[in-house]
Amino acid sequence: MCQDCGCSLTTNTKVLEVQKRILEKNDAEAAQNRAKLEKHGILGINLMSSPGAGKTTLLEKTIELLDGICSIGVIEGDLETERDAERIRQKGVAVQQITTGQTCHLDAAMVHSAMHRMPLEEIDLLFVENVGNLVCPAAYDIGTHMNVVLLSVTEGDDKPAKYPLVFLKSDLLLITKTDLAGVLEFDMEKAVSDALTINPRLQVIKLSAKSGDGMDEWITLLRKGLEDRIS
């Protein structure tokens, strides 16, 4: 049994049945979260990645670029500390921290609890920065409208092939820190090809929050998503 998320390393029938019940309960709670977001006209986005892929830096830059255009809220998920939440608070947006301890993912119940502490009536766009992990977060629907996976060029171009589930479950792949791609000899074509082989419907945006390259495409996608929620 995995200590962090409770995933079984066996195929025991009883264990599989317990896992099925857990996921069914989670899916029901996720549906409630989505309904709550829709009631308030909020677009919810789940950000998933390995630690250090640039989720918080991306959020900081996104908040700056959408300033005056929409109101943003953020739910931060980490095993320990509120360091990322503190960075986001400095941008002047509503933030709630979820500290999971040994749990390697957020689930719908955790997000539901955090949402109750958010000023939803004042928010247009809600980001959930999931726990840094390319495995467990992909198994849990948390009730957002879009799953986004970040792949940093610093991680290597082999990650889609090694961790296929998160790419299969995502709607959008953001390849981050592209300003370092040449130095690290990151094979962009291979990474994108592997990801699209796993999930042909996956959208792909290549960007660098540091240099600004590709950020306009990301912001355009968010603005379209917001417009679609209103219409």
pLDDT over threshold 90, residue 31? yes
Query: Could you count the other beta carbons within 10 Å of the beta carbon of residue 102?
Result: 9
**6 domain-assigned:** no
CA distance 127 to 120: 12
CA distance 142 to 32: 10
Cα 34 to Cα 29, 30, 43, 71, 110, distances in angstroms: 9, 6, 9, 18, 14
Question: Strand pairing of 43-48 and 203-206?
Answer: unpaired
Q: What is the pLDDT of residue 3?
A: 45
13 or 42, which is more confident: 42
- Band of pLDDT at residue 7, cut at 50, 70 and 90: low
H-helix or E-strand spanning residue 150? strand 146-152
pLDDT over threshold 80, residue 10? no
Q: What is the pLDDT of residue 19?
A: 77
Q: What is the pLDDT of residue 89?
A: 97
Q: What is the pLDDT of residue 74?
A: 98
DSSP H helices, 178-214, are 181-184, 188-198
**153 domain-assigned:** yes
**Tens digit of each residue's pLDDT (9 = 90 or more) over 118-153:** 999 999 999 999 999 999 999 999 999 999 999 999
**3 domain-assigned:** no
In the chain, the number of structural domains is 1
**5 domain-assigned:** no
**Tens digit of each residue's pLDDT (9 = 90 or more) over 68-91:** 999 999 999 999 999 999 999 999
- Band of pLDDT at residue 20, cut at 50, 70 and 90: confident
- Band of pLDDT at residue 5, cut at 50, 70 and 90: low
Name 205's bridge partners: 174
Q: What is the pLDDT of residue 17?
A: 76
pLDDT over threshold 60, residue 4? no
CATH of the domain at 46: 3.40.50.300
**2 domain-assigned:** no
| N residues, the chain | 231
Name 43's bridge partners: 125
**137 domain-assigned:** yes
**4 domain-assigned:** no
CA distance 180 to 152: 9
Helix (H, G, I), strand (E, B) or coil at 144: coil
pLDDT over threshold 60, residue 9? no
**169 domain-assigned:** yes
**Tens digit of each residue's pLDDT (9 = 90 or more) over 205-229:** 999 999 999 999 999 999 999 999 8
Mean pLDDT of 32-56: 97
For residue 30, give its domain range. Answer: 13-230
pLDDT over threshold 60, residue 47? yes
- Band of pLDDT at residue 1, cut at 50, 70 and 90: very low
Helix (H, G, I), strand (E, B) or coil at 202: coil
DSSP letters of 97-121? EEE-TT--S--HHHHHHHHTTS-GG
Report helix angle 13-39 to 108-115, nearest 10: 30
**Tens digit of each residue's pLDDT (9 = 90 or more) over 154-209:** 999 999 999 999 999 999 999 999 999 999 999 999 999 999 999 999 999 999 99
